[in-house]
Every structure is written in C-alpha cells, then in structure tokens.
Amino acid sequence: MFSGYSLAVIEDPGAGSPEYKRKEFSKKHNKCPPKMTVAILFLLATNIPMALYMSLIHQKGPEDVMNHLAREATQGNVKS
C-alpha cells in the first residue's frame, strides 16, 4: 500500500494533495519518469530474493518433518 502511494506521488507530485483528488485528469503517460524506474527496479531487486527465500527455504523444517512422519506411518513404524 505504501509503495503504491509513493510510486503514484513520484509519477505526479500533486497526487497527494486534496485539490488533486477533486479534479478530473486524463493524462496519458508514454514514459516512466527516471525516479519511478529506479524505484521499481529497487523494489524488484529487494523483493524477489526475499520472496524466493521465504517460499523455498524459510520454515521448511515443519514440512519435512510431516513428510517424514507420514512416510513412517505408511510403513507402520508409528504406533500412536
């Protein structure tokens, strides 16, 4: 939410003002401003590695333990 608001303000600095919300604007932007391009690249560079770590490595132990226990239970090695 904060990233989206900040990117909108970078694109159009008047976007955060109350007067801007009352006016109707139909601007067509053909090109991203350099600040927005840098901000988007920074967000991607920091979020992609974090997302990969969180989805592939972090807290993988409980899933591995449950798979091991399920395998042991199907083989009849677990009594309770």
The per-residue pLDDT for range 4-58, each reduced to its tens digit, is 888 778 777 666 566 655 454 545 555 778 888 898 899 999 999 999 999 889 9
- Whether 39 and 10 have beta carbons less than 8 Å apart is answered as yes
Residue 68 domain-assigned (yes or no): yes
Q: Residue 73's Cα: distance from chain center in Å?
A: 38
Residue 80 domain-assigned (yes or no): no
Structure tokens at 45: 């560079």
Residue 70 domain-assigned (yes or no): yes
Number of domains in the chain: 1
Sign of CA dihedral 27, 32, 38, 44: positive
How far is Cα 74 from Cα 80, in angstroms, rounded to an integer?
12
Place of tokens 């900040």: 6
Domain extent at residue 48: 3-75
pTM greater than the 0.75 cutoff: no
